[in-house]
């Protein structure tokens, strides 16, 4: 697994990939494109709990998914010199990844699709995108479109299973996309991208917070019922509703897929067993390695500064948060983090397999 970084200059880009956010947070992003149709994806100063390990997660999972589960574009750590000075809210480091669609093709995510082709079962008007939540796909599978297009439904089932394996806390409906031609005809489901919110890579600077969120992943897979008023501490009723759903929905996804997609289940369980075997036999092949010159300080609270400055446009609050958090980061201990990541991945494999294989 290659954790070396590549360096580009923003001035040398051959174009910009325009990505419009169409969910709860609306806006436009312009990611620079370099020769070979490589897209630079920066780490964002305001993205919740972002640390350099978000970029390492992209590299790690893109290689693991491509090798063990399905074709996936490989991410690589990267710098884009001049990008931070140009944009302000993005760092000039992140990753590069090949574009997942070709000439005269474009992407249409599930949110866009069901807005254009409404289905009462999807209830897309109730969709909200929050980070650090798990998403229920059973209603999506029940829509007329996926009931009629069984091959695409089977592919989506595999994607959902892999998203559970990687502990993706942000696998929302905007992260699943169709590749379409110029007439909007669906050609295929796009390869999996956006692996940064993998639970195992979060909070390397705060063990207690990390263990809490890994526990939330395990709890959602197990489907442990929500206790009344368990999430009463959340003042936003929509967020509370979503968190209650998130707390059990991975189990619901697993049971639905187990009942309706036997081939996807058999393929996933055999492939995940091979992954576990490889981790046991040669764990060093999966270890993270510090990339020379790449940032290696984790500050899971640093994003709050960027949120205040760039999203809330509150410079006074940003300066207060800078005084509090700007120097509170910790060096990433790559060997220790790697051991923990692999242990937790194996725990998830065993937990998911127990549910899928239980007769």
Q: Residues 206-242, buried b or exposed e (16+ Cβ, 10 A)? A: beeebeebbebbbbbbebeeeeeeebeeeeeeeebeb
Partner residues linked to 313 by β-bridges: none
Neighbours of 115 (CB within 10 A): 15
Please state the length of the chain.
359
CA-derived radius of gyration, the chain: 20
Global confidence as pTM = 0.94
Q: How far is CA 147 from the centre of its chain?
A: 26
Report in angstroms the alpha-carbon separations of 167 from 32, 83, 96, 121, 209. 28, 30, 22, 26, 15
The helix (run of H) or strand (run of E) holding residue 217 is: helix 207-222
**Please, what is the angle between helix 334-357 and helix 262-281, to 10°?**
150
Per-residue pLDDT of the chain (359 residues; tens, 9 = 90+): 899 999 999 999 998 886 544 444 445 567 999 999 999 999 999 999 999 999 999 999 999 999 999 999 999 999 999 999 999 999 999 999 999 998 899 999 999 999 999 999 998 888 888 778 999 999 999 999 999 999 999 999 999 999 999 999 999 999 999 999 999 999 999 999 999 999 999 999 999 999 999 999 999 999 999 888 888 888 888 888 888 889 999 999 999 999 999 999 999 999 999 999 999 999 999 999 999 999 999 999 999 999 999 999 999 999 999 999 989 999 999 999 999 999 999 999 999 999 999 86
């Amino acid at each position: 697994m290659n954790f070396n970084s590549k360096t580009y200059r923003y001035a040398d880009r051959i174009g910009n990939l325009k990505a419009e956010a169409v969910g709860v947070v609306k806006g436009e992003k312009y990611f620079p494109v370099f020769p070979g149709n490589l897209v630079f994806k920066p780490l964002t100063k305001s993205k919740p709990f972002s640390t350099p390990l978000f970029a390492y997660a992209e590299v790690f999972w893109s290689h693991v998914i491509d090798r063990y589960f399905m074709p996936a574009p490989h991410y690589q750590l990267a710098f884009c010199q001049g990008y931070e000075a140009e944009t302000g809210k993005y760092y000039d480091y992140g990753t590069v990844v090949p574009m997942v669609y070709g000439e005269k093709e474009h992407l249409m995510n599930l949110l866009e699709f069901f807005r254009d082709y409404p289905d009462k079962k999807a209830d897309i008007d109730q969709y909200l995108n929050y980070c650090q939540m798990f998403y229920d796909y059973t209603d999506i599978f029940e829509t007329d479109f996926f009931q009629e297009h069984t091959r695409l439904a089977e592919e989506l089932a595999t994607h959902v299973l892999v998203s559970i394996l990687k502990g993706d806390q942000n696998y929302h409906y905007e992260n699943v996309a169709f590749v379409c031609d110029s007439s909007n005809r669906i050609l295929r489901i796009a390869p999996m991208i956006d692996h940064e919110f993998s639970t195992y890579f979060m909070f390397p600077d705060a063990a207690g917070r990390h263990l809490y969120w890994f526990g939330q992943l395990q709890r959602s897979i197990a489907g442990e019922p929500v206790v009344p008023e368990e999430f009463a501490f959340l003042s936003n009723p929509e967020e509370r509703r979503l968190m209650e759903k998130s707390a059990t929905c991975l189990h619901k996804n697993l049971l639905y897929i187990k009942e309706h997609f036997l081939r996807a289940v058999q393929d996933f369980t055999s492939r995940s067993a091979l992954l576990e075997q490889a981790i046991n036999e040669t764990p060093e092949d999966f270890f993270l390695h510090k990339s020379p010159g790449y940032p290696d300080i984790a500050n899971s609270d640093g994003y709050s500064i960027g949120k205040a400055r760039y999203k809330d446009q509150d410079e006074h609050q940003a300066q207060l948060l800078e005084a509090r958090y700007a120097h509170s980061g910790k060096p990433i201990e790559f060997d220790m983090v790697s051991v923990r990541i692999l242990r937790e991945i194996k725990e998830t494999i065993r937990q998911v397999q127990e549910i899928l294989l239980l007769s």
